Amino acid sequence: MTDQLPVLVSGGGIGGLAAALALVRQGFNVQVFEQAAEIGEIGAGIQLGPNAFHAFDALGVGDKTRSRAVYTDCMVMHDAIDESLVGRIETGAAFRQRFGNPYAVIHRVDIHTSLLEGVVETGRVEFFTNTRVVEIEQNEASKTVTAIDQNGKRWVGQALIGADGGKSVVRAQYVNDPPRVTGHVVYRAVVDKADYPDDLKWNAASLWAGPKCHLVHYPLRGGEQYNVVVTFHSRQQEQWGVTEGSKEEVESYFQGICPKARQLIELPKSWKRWATADREPIDTWVFGRATILGDAAHPTTQYMAQGACMALEDAVTLGEALRVNNNDWDKALELYQRSRVARTARIVLSGREMGRLYHAVGVERLVRNGLWKGRSQQRFYDAIEWLYGWNVTNCLADD
């Protein structure tokens, strides 16, 4: 009777909903457990590479997501001290032809909505809110997994997917490794078009790289809003988490920034403050009939703009691993792990290096500013092929 049990998914965010969609497409019924009072998403904008759109298509929600995205003309980096152009990658027709999908920016809520609509349309996913999985038990004889919630209620399934974020309870039970607090603080806000400076209304994913800091901005929701993100190296000991921010703190870290970029920190009426962390990559994601996905498996800094994209890839890969193994969980989970560990570890480690590049000081800043001078678009595209060339046809590791 184990095959008649649902698959349990801990977490109703982007990764959890993507996993639910992937599982339903393989014929499973799914139960999703979310500790919040309702299924929803918070936050601001995120960037979506072609690999994310490949994943959305594989999950059956590509059209929904495309209808809510803003398609950029380019990704561009400027020096935040002297306004000089450091690098520009065109994301128009040639980019789409090379990678098979666009580059876009979108509000996190709009991604979540697209996935949720897709999940609800299946009619095969049950949601349980105000429910936090706090412990997992497994029965090897019956091949079942039991999730125990905060009230002691027991939920039995044929497998469990831990999509419960960077502070994952599932990972804590089976790995229990410490976070690596970066000391980098991120402030995020969304600004209405009417309040946004005309000289920064670029249809681009734009970054201003400064000494031990950087600023990012791009349009959202058809250009009616703009996402503003600032990051800096904190002077104090940080604790991983989200709090309310203050304009005064932000201003104190951006004194040497050019006036054009400094406009950004004058705009938001309120800020959310993220003290960031990642974890060291691990090579074991599978624990019997339980596994982890998304930030639970590979929490990363924001510098590669790939956190949500990797969670989507994880979900698609899990579904494909089940498909090619005829829903044999033992074989599928081994293939899923083998297919994802190195790629996601590369994102985590590359994110650390990209943060150093963005925040270069002194001579390192000069080196950074000269890295891409004279580079053709074709060379840029070649350099990012490993990242954006992922799709469902090449998502599984070679046997």
Residues 15-45 pLDDT 10s:
999 999 999 999 999 999 999 988 776 678 8
Its domain, for residue 50, covers 2-178+279-394
Question: Looking at the predicted structure, is the pLDDT value of residue 168 above 80?
Answer: yes
pLDDT of 255: 87
Rg (CA), the chain: 21
Can you tell me the mean pLDDT for 231-244? 94
pLDDT of 136: 98
Could you tell me if 170 and 160 are in contact, meaning their C-beta atoms sit under 8 angstroms apart? yes
pLDDT of 3: 85
pTM listed for this prediction? 0.96
Distance CA 119, CA 110 (A): 14
Residue 163 lies in a domain: yes
User: Rounded to whole angstroms, what are the CA distances from 114 to 13, 86, 229, 266?
Assistant: 12, 35, 24, 32
pLDDT digits (tens, 9 = 90+) for 308-349: 999 999 999 999 999 999 999 999 999 999 999 999 999 999
pLDDT digits (tens, 9 = 90+) for 37-68: 887 766 788 999 999 999 999 999 999 999 99
Question: Looking at the predicted structure, is the pLDDT value of residue 271 above 90?
Answer: no
Residue 54 lies in a domain: yes
- 252: enclosing H helix or E strand: helix 247-252
Q: How far apart are the first and last CA of the chain?
A: 31
Can you tell me the mean pLDDT for 383-398? 95
Cβ-based neighbours of 281, under 8 Å, separated by 6 or more: 298, 341, 344, 345, 348, 349
More confident residue, 168 or 223: 168
Residue 86 lies in a domain: yes
Residue 38 lies in a domain: yes
CA 290 to chain centroid, in Å, comes to 21
Question: Looking at the predicted structure, is the pLDDT value of residue 158 above 70?
Answer: yes
Q: Is the dihedral of CA 66, 384, 89, 370 positive or negative?
A: positive
More confident residue, 103 or 399: 103
User: Beta strand 159-162 with 154-157: parallel, antiparallel or unpaired?
Assistant: unpaired
Can you tell me the mean pLDDT for 160-184? 97
pLDDT interval class at 252 (50, 70, 90): very high
Residue 307 lies in a domain: yes
Nearest to 49 by CA among 205, 199, 156: 205
Could you tell me if 105 and 203 are in contact, meaning their C-beta atoms sit under 8 angstroms apart? no
pLDDT interval class at 270 (50, 70, 90): confident
pLDDT of 269: 82
pLDDT interval class at 140 (50, 70, 90): very high
Share of the chain above pLDDT 70, in %: 99
pLDDT of 164: 97
pLDDT interval class at 183 (50, 70, 90): very high
Residue 326 lies in a domain: yes
User: Rounded to whole angstroms, what are the CA distances from 55 to 48, 52, 78?
Assistant: 11, 5, 31
- 56: enclosing H helix or E strand: helix 50-59
| 233's tokens | 């190296």
Q: How many CB atoms lie within 10 A of CB 148?
A: 14
Instruction: Strands of 150-234 (E only): list them.
Output: 154-157, 159-162, 180-192, 204-210, 213-220, 225-233
Can you tell me the mean pLDDT for 261-266? 93
Residue 254 lies in a domain: no
pLDDT of 1: 67
Could you tell me if 278 and 182 are in contact, meaning their C-beta atoms sit under 8 angstroms apart? yes
Q: Return the CATH number at 61.
A: 3.50.50.60
- Bridge partners of residue 272, in order along the sequence: 188, 244
pLDDT of 41: 67
Residue 62 lies in a domain: yes
Domain count, the chain: 1
